[in-house]
Structure 1
């Protein structure tokens, strides 16, 4: 095989593998083995992905390759939106907490690795990559201090902002919700030229002090716009020169498109590259088109659209919950109903993106052994069931809940016979009665409407599930 360059020989020597195929080697690296197991280059980091975080060894050269790809994004965008080097980008960027593997390698999300690297912190000036957010704010793990200072700095240069974005659509909507909750404090800071005492990180205070000075006119404008009941088009009202939104709106993030259109006044949404935690695939050479039109070829290079994550049932942000995980969570919560003689007949779920942040909704149809009045479980029992389900979900979900990425899980109890009606509806649309099974997740509008019209009660998780911060 030596010296062969044909495709079949390559496939024979380098077969397609899954994470499970490589898990033993990855665990050796995580546990401290520094021999040339997967790469001849030293492993510098251990990125993470998927529901229960999967470790992905990374070498220093990989950040060089990613940096090179980043440098190509804006020149491509400039072909469609000229003049992007004449203004700034308001991007809400955040890092997440990290741990260490038993062998001492840092284990953290891929973007956290990039933001904390010298590649990002000491990047050379690029007129196409001027951000309004100070680097210390992006590198702060306290979500309030980070968001507050990034929003404040974005407001201070509102007319210079040419694009607004975040990694995921959900992150940009969280920023808008943050503005709804804290505009009075932000306006006060702008008026007085002093940063809120709630922001205590010295590096952030020093960075913000360089751009913050009293501006009563701007403060009055922010207050007047945010005090209005109608927030339609708030992005273009706050940042009037915004040409597009730079966010991922494919896959599970597509559920946020209507809300983003409402808040942006219909601005175009650009997805600039093909990427995943495992690797970056390439550039999107048609970033301004609808995701459904990305497909086809550019010369011999394939163009494709991201449809969904494999085996993922529910996703709000970076969380990924599959059917088996949801089933286990429901079974765990159902045990709390046993003392009341209640059991779950059937269930389904949806990722509700109409709230900010979005949250999981689980529909339960119950059966009682004793139907006498007064034996129905009280509201507090269902609330405990919500929290019990959250405790059973993966660490990425629980981390998102302990931050501000995911809202409290909700259980909606529906009346008896509801899932029979769902089945009847599915059969009326052509489903086979012999092969029908209740869907464990629904996104089809008429079925969601049917479920919601049969709701008897709604219950939310009363607290965040346990998620311990990494030990220092």
Structure 2
């Protein structure tokens, strides 16, 4: 590394130390900046009357949900001036994934949001490089995507946050030092056909396999999709490499031209090597076998994404899995300062320069207690409220976070769950965290078989008396070309383990009085969850941000699942419970 790079990195470390040490002052400055900029917007003028006072803001500005601010956002999308909600011009709109809450949300953005993405990209890379040596000499095979942009009636673009960033000058003109090189050219990232993009990412990564030190994607689900595509397409990829010719169905001209240059001359030796690895009966450890210099995998694997960790560990031979940052369409939050921790222990250090953060104490009874970032308490659960630079003020995120520690004076939070409950039949409340933990326990039963759980979702079926929980599971054999052979005893035991792992109130209502019926696992055909994803994408969900819903609320989505059910299993044992709990 050059002396110049060393000095730059040292200065950056000092900046990070300053940010995490002077949290209160920086947060106060951020709020003052936002209020000075936005106090005279139509939205804030009703509460602040032109003032930028923090005290008046705390006293008068209400806590809001998306439905509260949607009418103001809609007016700007339809062509009214930005100053309805923002003192700076709105330059576009960001679309949420559309899978967590069932509806896709649209948030205003300006250049500050893109600056914050660039900031997060750089500093999370800096932190990782402090824990893993030799990254500056390699490349990242990172499955970055752009989806097609829509245009609002006002003429402004609307797209996923990643698309907005990758199409911006912040990405196009990025300095060479702020992250590692990618194996894929920008033209692949900018291609709006996700299948072509995914295939070309794999091809470029395999051609440069000896340079790959990192494998990454926004979410763990994208990596699982990439491996599934590789399973189905490795023979075609080998043919491309063997003859130095890209498949004709890659029709995006810019993508085709740039990938063809990387593909280069025929390389039968490399094609043979890849073919030998992919021809093995087991794909366990396929990632380090194909990319032997890969040191880690970077993707978000917290929250509902955690269900895919065992699958990725199977394919990656348990390479370090780094969830590096906590980001959303509303704002950037922070980075993981201990990147090599276990996935279940991931916490994010909130950075005070990104937005103004407040926190609503969870389970505070009738009292509404809102505290600043510096006033959160260790071990307490909070829901973040976001005030950003582009028109959201005291916006209720819906995420539930646990304070796990502090980095200097900056609190560290673990993502626990979404705020809305997942399932309920009687008076019990089963959250997505409850369900994920219970299914994780049941996966241990599957270890005795040749099966992997690839994806799941749930549904509270009240068409029966009593109502009962239904889990839809898609299974896959661990070994290629093996038939999924179902052992009834194993699946019935899985039902029992899920129920035993749920909270005590569920088990009490389930065991006594016939208030909740026996839990059911319905197995669906392979490919069902791909069809489910395609359905949600047609409804507006982002293909690059897609997360399988933990609970199905859409009747149309339920039909897709039901049409593919091929076997059903129920618990056949009594549950334990404790009336005193």
User: Same fold by TM (over 0.5)?
Assistant: yes
Superposition deviation, residue 201 in structure 1: 1.2
CA 1:431–1:92: 2 relative to 1, 3 Å: farther
Whole-angstrom CA distance in 2 between matches of 1:152 and 1:67: 27
Deviation, structure 1 residue 100: 2.5
Find the partner of 2:418 among 289, 304, 309. Answer: 309
Give 1:345 shift. Answer: 6.6
Q: Which runs of 5+ in 2 are unaligned?
A: 1-47, 348-403, 423-431, 437-455, 478-494, 496-523, 549-556
Correspondent of 1:47 among 94, 100, 109:
94
Distance 2:421 2:230 in 1: 31
Counterpart among 281, 295, 302 of residue 243 in structure 1: 295
Q: For the Cα contact (< 8 Å) 1:52–1:395, is it kept in 2?
A: no
CA distance in structure 1 between the partners assigned to 2:532 and 2:223 by the alignment? 24
1:135 is displaced (CA, Å) by: 1.4
Aligned to 2:320: 268
Alignment of 1:31-430 (within 5 A): 31-49=78-96, 50=98, 51-126=102-177, 128-212=179-263, 213-293=265-345, 294=347, 295-311=404-420, 313=422, 346-350=467-471, 352=473, 354=475, 399=541, 409-410=561-562, 412=565, 418=570, 424-425=574-575, 428-430=576-578
Instruction: Spell out, residue by residue over 1:280-317, the C-alpha distance to the aligned partner (whole angstroms, 9 max, x if none).
Output: 0122211111244332111211111112223274899x
Give the drift of 1:77. 0.7
Give the deviation of 1:390 after TM superposition. Answer: 6.5
Q: In structure 2, how many angstroms separate the alpha carbons of the residues matched to 1:11 and 1:47?
A: 27
Contact 1:174 1:405 in 2 (8 A): no
Confirm or deny: 8 A CA contact 2:147 2:194 kept in the other structure. no
Aligned to 1:467: none
Change (3 A) 1:211 1:283: same
Paired positions, count = 382
CA distance in 1, matches of 2:292, 2:215: 11
SS at match of 2:469: strand
Distance 1:397 1:312 in 2: 23
Distance 1:400 1:61 in 2: 22
- Secondary structure at the counterpart of residue 340 of structure 2: coil
- Partners of 1:214 and 1:400 in 2: CA distance: 36
Q: Tell me how far apart the structure 2 counterparts of residues 253 and 400 of structure 1 sit (CA, whole Å).
A: 16
Tell me if structure 2 keeps the 8 A contact 1:89–1:129: yes
Judged with a 3 Å threshold, the aligned counterparts in structure 2 of structure 1 residues 352 and 44 are, in CA distance, closer, same or farther, namely farther
Compute the displacement of 1:205 (Å). 1.3
Question: Which runs of 5 or more residues in structure 1 are unaligned?
Answer: 335-342, 357-362, 364-381, 436-472
The 3 A distance-change label for structure 1 pair 67 and 250 is: same
Give yes or no for contact 1:235–1:264 (8 Å, CA) kept in 2: yes
Contact 2:138 2:180 in 1 (8 A): no
> Any conservation in 1 of the 2:287–2:317 contact (CA below 8 Å)?
yes
CA distance in 2 between partners of 1:220 and 1:210 (Å): 21
Deviations 1:439-471 (A, max 9, x none): xxxxxxxxxxxxxxxxxxxxxxxxxxxxxxxxx
1:277, distance to aligned residue in structure 2 (A): 1.9
In structure 2, what is the Cα distance between the partners aligned to 1:404 and 1:47?
Answer: 15
Distance apart, 1:246 and its partner CA: 0.2
Structure 1 residue 347: deviation in Å?
4.8
1:9 to partner: Cα distance: 5.0
TM-score normalised by L of structure 1: 0.71
C-alpha separation in 1, matches of 2:311 and 2:323? 17
Name the SS of the counterpart of 1:260 in structure 2. helix
Q: Contact conserved, 1:80 with 1:288, CA < 8 A, in 2?
A: yes
The DSSP-based 3-state class of the residue aligned with 2:406 is strand
Q: TM-score, normalised by structure 2?
A: 0.59
Conserved? CA contact 1:171–1:405, under 8 Å: no
Tell me how far 1:25 sits from its aligned partner. 1.1
Contact 1:232–1:264, Cα closer than 8 Å, also in 2: yes
Deviation of residue 3 (structure 1)? 8.7
Q: Decide whether the 8 Å contact of 1:143 with 1:404 is kept in 2.
A: no
Question: Does the CA contact (< 8 Å) of 1:274 and 1:281 recur in 2?
Answer: yes
CA distance in 2, matches of 1:123, 1:409: 44
Between the aligned partners of 1:128 and 1:10, the Cα distance in structure 2 is: 38
Change (3 A) 1:322 1:223: closer
Tell me whether 405-414 or 117-126 shows the greater mean CA deviation: 405-414
Q: In 2 relative to 1, CA 35–178 (structure 1 residues): closer, same or farther, beyond 3 Å?
A: closer
Deviations 1:59-107, CA, capped at 9 Å, x for gaps? 1232122212212121111110022111000111222233232323222
Secondary structure of 2:123's aligned partner? helix
